[in-house]
Amino acid sequence: MRSKTIEILTNAMKGGYAVGAFNTFNLEMTQGIVRAAHDLNKPCIIQATPSTFRYAGCRVIGKVVRGVIEADSNSNLVGFHLDHGKNLDDIMCAIEEAKMDSVMIDASLMSLRENISMTKRVVDYAHERGVAVQAELGKVPYIGREEQAIDWEELMTNPEEARELVELTGVDALAIGIGNAHGFFQERSEPDWERLARIKELVPNTPLIMHGASDWSREKIQKAIKLGVSCFNIDTDNRVAFVTSICQTVGPKCDVTDPRKILKPARKAVYEKVKEKIEMFNGFEVESKAEPTEQVKYQLSDTEE
Ligand code: G3H
Ligand code: 13P
Ligand code: ZN
């Protein structure tokens, strides 16, 4: 199967580094992410959720993201992925309409048996179309949405079950829970590192994905990479960068009439944040090897020539 995403993840797994999977919902966010990967000459994954399909339209966001990737002379660096697909409709939209390279089927709230059966159906459908699949086992909570205190033991990935799910479904990548949570909320005081090592031992050939990584420190990231994580999902950090920039530009008077004057610095803020993350996940050589093509030569900021 030739899926750009799985190629990126497999290279990261073999190379002992990680990549970022960055969420997008519009043109500016997409350009900020793709340009950062371009300028660092490093791979990354760009992803959208079913909520973004509902916000922008599945086919439309697909065309926006594909358009930005294809306009980039380094376009082979970027994979396009469905994040947190929940059902077959999401999967079909992602593959048929948005033309994504890979999909996630998040059946983590189901029982192990149901998760395996749903994941297998998606794998059969997606692989036939050359598209890779990520499953989730264990639960990565959205703490802002949870009402009760979190029982981490209850949520974490069981390594033996992870092996079973991977073997029975043939899934290409696995999202795991070791104390990680979505958003800037309280996570487990220390990730369960032994659990991570055991998962890696039992599924050595499957890239492991860490959701909820926005607030992870450099130290935690490095330890997770050493123990076998190949990809960190980042959404909240970029949303905050985007919105903070908009608030700063707009200011209390709110007298801006050209939206581009607001969106341009917001795009730049995402670009800077993504560069910081890519450097954290994937080393220190930050030299651009390719000039932007004509189409991709939008100015990131007003001070640029
Ligand atoms: O983990 C996924 C996202 O952070 C939630 O994204 O608001 O687009 O569903 P969404
Ligand atoms: P954060 O919002 O915590 O960065 O998590 C993103 C994520 O897991 C997307 O799937
Ligand atoms: Zn997630």
Backbone dihedral region for residue 57 (phi beyond 0: left; psi -120 to 50: alpha; all else: beta): left
CA 54 vs. chain centroid, Å, equals 18
Residue 112 has pLDDT above 60, yes or no: yes
Among 30, 49, 58, 209, name the best residue to mutate to test ligand 1's pocket (greatest count of ligand atoms within 8 A of Cβ): 49
Each residue of 45-77: pLDDT tens digit? 999 999 999 999 999 999 999 999 999 877 889
Residue 49 C-alpha to ligand 1 middle, in angstroms?
Answer: 6
- Residue 288 clears pLDDT 50, i.e. is over it: no
Which residue puts its alpha carbon closest to atom 3 of ligand 1? 235
Q: What is the pLDDT of residues 119-130, one digit of tens each?
A: 999 999 999 999
Distance 175 CA to ligand 3 centre (A): 8
Please tell me if the CB atom of residue 163 comes closer than 6 angstroms to any atom of ligand 1. Answer: no
User: To 10 degrees, what angle do helices 259-281 and 236-250 make?
Assistant: 150
Check pLDDT > 90 for residue 13: yes
Look-up: residue for tokens 């909320």? 185
DSSP tally for the chain: helices H, then strands E: 12, 8
Give the pocket of ligand 2 (CB within 6 Å). 23, 83-84, 182-183, 211-214, 233-237
Q: What ligand 2 atom has the least distance to the C-alpha of 236?
A: 2
Within 10 A of 151 (CB to CB), how many other CB atoms are there?
8
> Is residue 37 classed as helix, strand or coil in its secondary structure?
helix
The pLDDT score that the predictor gives to residue 149 is 78
Ligand 1 pocket member 49 (CB < 6 A): yes
Question: Residue 152 is encoded by which pair of tokens?
Answer: 């981490």
pLDDT, tens digit (0-9, with 9 covering 90-100), for 185-230:
778 889 999 999 999 999 999 999 999 999 999 999 999 999 999 9
Q: Which residues contact 54 (CB under 8 A, 6 or more apart)?
A: none
State whether CATH 3.20.20.70 applies to domain 4-279.
Answer: yes
Active site residues: 83
Cβ atoms of residues 41 and 13 within 8 Å: no
How large is the average pLDDT for residues 70-90? 93
Q: Which atom of ligand 1 is nearest to the CA of 236?
A: 4
Ligand nearest to the CA of 139: 3
Atom of ligand 1 nearest to the CA of 183: 4
Residue 294 has pLDDT above 80, yes or no: no
pLDDT given at position 98: 98
Query: How close is the Cα of 252 to the center of ligand 2, in Å?
Result: 30
Q: Which of 114, 112, 82 is nearest to 99 (CA)?
A: 82
List, for residues 138-189, the tens digit of each pLDDT value.
Answer: 999 987 666 677 888 999 999 999 999 999 999 999 999 999 999 987 788 8
pLDDT bin (cut points 50, 70, 90) of residue 286 is very low
Token pair for residue 58? 């599945």
Alpha carbon 73 to its chain centroid, in Å, reads 22
* Average pLDDT over the chain, rounded to an integer: 92
